[in-house]
């Protein structure tokens, strides 16, 4: 098959969940003998026009520095790639709903083309978007779902967010994760981060709570920081990720004014050093997951594969993934209480680690995920 994946920022992954997913799916499909094209918003001179056998196609202009023009750039880039790759594809897989209203365009160019879409959670409920943006995203989702051949849901809970008459053409295929050999603790690996924030040098193995996320309202970073500060834990909270909104950054900084003992450490994003990120994941005391609208979240699967205690925001998506393998919170008070419980008796919750690990091994491994995609693609082409 000739398969094109449109809607991520590109590979190799340097940004977030969609990029990791795109890299895993595209490279593994190539290994199975398929020809795969991936759209890229940025050009990586290290790899040229291919990456592990995947054909890379680059946007005709550089992305804007201004956040205000970011969505417009994504919109036009997605439409550009839809047009460019339509004749080169048997299957086009659209990630996200930025250009959902134009999902019919590739079929005008190649009527045999089969179009799949991944709605990417409940995008129109994300607080980082204003009312107009949310309305457009919801409209885009409805148009794209109508025009496509198959709707891919990465969480079964997403069925409630699409019209009932479209459930029949939906298919559940989750994200995946890799169960690998975790890196050992090495203080020297913290030095690059310590140069930016000296507090990072004080992080010790198994001595900190961890969050890895984009620092956005729907990921409840404000609630996590406040909950840690209101708890009795003396351990630090390490927050890995970048702010995407200056107003939200100001909100977090206001909360941090309470942090007289400097328990909260913001490291910034870590996108090009998997060894460092996995070291932080594997050697944290416990992990706090605040995502609430993104379907099955890759960072949650990754931490579950690390055999770690997880405290997750209580919503349908996280419940579906974790089942009995996590503790849950809805409010700042809930979170502070859960932190205190784990802090006082972590061995009492060690069974959660085993449940979480077995869960990802059985239902969220990349091999079976890619096999399911291949089967669905082949069935329709």
Fold category of 187-363 in CATH: Rossmann fold (3.40.50)
Mean pLDDT lowest among 214-218, 252-256, 269-273, 366-370 = 269-273
pLDDT of residue 70: 76
Say if residues 298 and 248 touch (Cβ distance below 8 Å).
Answer: no
Collapse the DSSP code of 259 into the 3-class scheme (helix H, G, I; strand E, B; otherwise coil) and give the result: coil
CA-to-CA separations, 258 to 201, 230, 231, 239, 264, in angstroms, rounded: 22, 10, 13, 16, 10
Report the pLDDT value the prediction gives residue 47, as an integer from 0 to 100. 64
Q: What is the pLDDT of residues 100-110, one digit of tens each?
A: 888 899 999 99
| Number of Cβ within a 10 Å radius of residue 67 | 10
The proportion of the chain whose per-residue pLDDT surpasses 70, expressed as a percent, equals: 95
Q: State residue 74's pLDDT score.
A: 86
pLDDT above 60 for 124 = no
Weakest-pLDDT range from 34-48, 72-86, 172-186, 360-374: 34-48
Query: What global pTM score does this model have?
Result: 0.86
Peptide bond just before 345 cis, omega within 30 deg: no
| Architecture category of domain 2-176+366-380 in CATH | 3-Layer(aba) Sandwich (3.40)
What residue spans define the domains of the chain? 2-176+366-380, 187-363
Kindly report which listed range (99-103, 134-138, 155-159, 235-239) carries the lowest average pLDDT score: 134-138
| Higher-confidence position of 375 and 45 | 375
Q: What is the pLDDT of residue 123?
A: 62
End-to-end CA distance of the chain: 8
**What per-residue confidence (pLDDT) applies to 45?**
60
Handedness of CA 195, 201, 206, 210 (dihedral sign): negative
List pLDDT tens digits, range 259-314: 999 999 999 988 767 789 999 999 999 999 999 877 788 889 999 999 999 999 99
Side by side, the strands of the sheet bearing 170-172 are 50-51, 54-58, 35-40, 2-6, 91-95, 114-118, 150-153, 170-172
3-state helix, strand, coil in the chain (%, to 5): 50, 15, 35
Count other Cβ atoms within 10 Å, centred on residue 76.
Answer: 15
Cβ atoms of 246 and 215 within 8 Å: the answer is: no
Residues 161-179: pLDDT tens digits?
A: 777 777 888 999 999 998 8
Q: What is the pLDDT of residue 183?
A: 87
Whether 2-176+366-380 shares its CATH topology with 187-363 is answered: yes
Strand partners, 150: 116
Average pLDDT, the chain: 89
Interval 204-232: pLDDT, tens: 999 999 999 989 999 999 999 999 999 99
Quick check: 332 and 226 in contact, CB under 8 A?
yes
Predicted local confidence at residue 126, as pLDDT: 65
Asked if 311 and 220 count as a contact pair (C-beta separation under 8 A), the reply is no
Percent of the chain with pLDDT over 90: 63
Largest CA distance in the chain: 63
| Predicted pLDDT of residue 127 | 64
Cα separation, 228 vs 1, in Å, equals: 50
The pLDDT confidence band at residue 329, using thresholds 50, 70 and 90, is very high
**Helix residue ranges, H only, the chain:** 17-31, 70-85, 105-109, 131-147, 191-194, 221-230, 246-256, 274-282, 298-304, 316-322, 332-344, 350-363, 366-380
Would you state the pLDDT for residue 46? 62
Q: Does position 248 have pLDDT exceeding 60, yes or no?
A: yes
Residue 331 has pLDDT above 60, yes or no: yes
Contacts of residue 286, Cβ cutoff 8 Å, sequence gap at least 6: 209, 210, 308, 309, 310, 311, 342, 346
Q: What gap in Å lies between CA 109 and CA 96, rounded to an integer?
A: 21
């Amino acid at each position: 098959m000739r398969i094109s994946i449109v809607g991520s920022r590109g590979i190799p992954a340097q940004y977030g969940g969609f990029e990791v997913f795109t890299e895993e799916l595209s490279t593994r499909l190539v290994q199975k003998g398929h020809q795969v094209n991936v759209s890229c918003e940025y050009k990586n001179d290290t790899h040229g026009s291919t990456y592990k056998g995947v054909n890379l196609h680059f946007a005709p202009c550089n992305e804007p520095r201004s956040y205000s023009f970011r969505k417009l750039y994504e919109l036009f880039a997605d439409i550009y790639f839809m047009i460019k790759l339509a004749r080169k594809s048997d299957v086009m897989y659209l990630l996200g709903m930025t250009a959902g209203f134009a999902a019919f365009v590739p079929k005008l160019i190649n009527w045999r083309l089969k179009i799949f879409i991944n709605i990417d959670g409940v995008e129109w409920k994300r607080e980082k978007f204003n009312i107009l943006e949310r309305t457009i995203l919801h409209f885009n989702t409805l148009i794209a779902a109508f025009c496509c051949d198959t709707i891919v849901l990465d969480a079964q809970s997403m069925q409630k967010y699409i019209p009932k008459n479209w459930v029949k053409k939906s298919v559940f295929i989750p994200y995946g994760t890799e169960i690998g050999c975790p890196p050992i603790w090495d203080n020297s690996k913290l030095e690059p981060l310590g140069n930016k924030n000296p507090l990072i040098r004080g992080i010790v193995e198994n001595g900190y709570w961890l969050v890895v996320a984009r620092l956005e309202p729907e990921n409840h970073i404000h609630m996590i920081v406040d909950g840690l500060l209101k708890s009795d834990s003396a351990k630090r909270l390490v927050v890995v990720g970048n702010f995407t909104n200056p107003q939200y950054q100001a909100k977090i900084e206001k909360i941090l004014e309470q942090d007289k003992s400097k328990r909260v450490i913001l490291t910034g994003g870590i996108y090009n050093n998997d060894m460092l990120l996995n070291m932080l994941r594997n050697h944290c005391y416990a992990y706090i997951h605040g995502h609430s609208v993104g379907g099955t979240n890759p960072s949650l699967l990754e931490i579950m594969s690390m055999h770690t205690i997880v405290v997750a925001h209580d919503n349908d998506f996280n419940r579906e993934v974790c089942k009995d393998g996590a503790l849950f919170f809805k409010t700042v008070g809930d979170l502070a209480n859960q932190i205190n419980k784990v802090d006082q008796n972590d061995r009492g919750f060690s069974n959660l680690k085993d449940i979480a690990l077995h869960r990802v091994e059985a239902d969220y491994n990349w091999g079976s995920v890619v096999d399911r995609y291949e089967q669905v693609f082949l069935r329709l082409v």
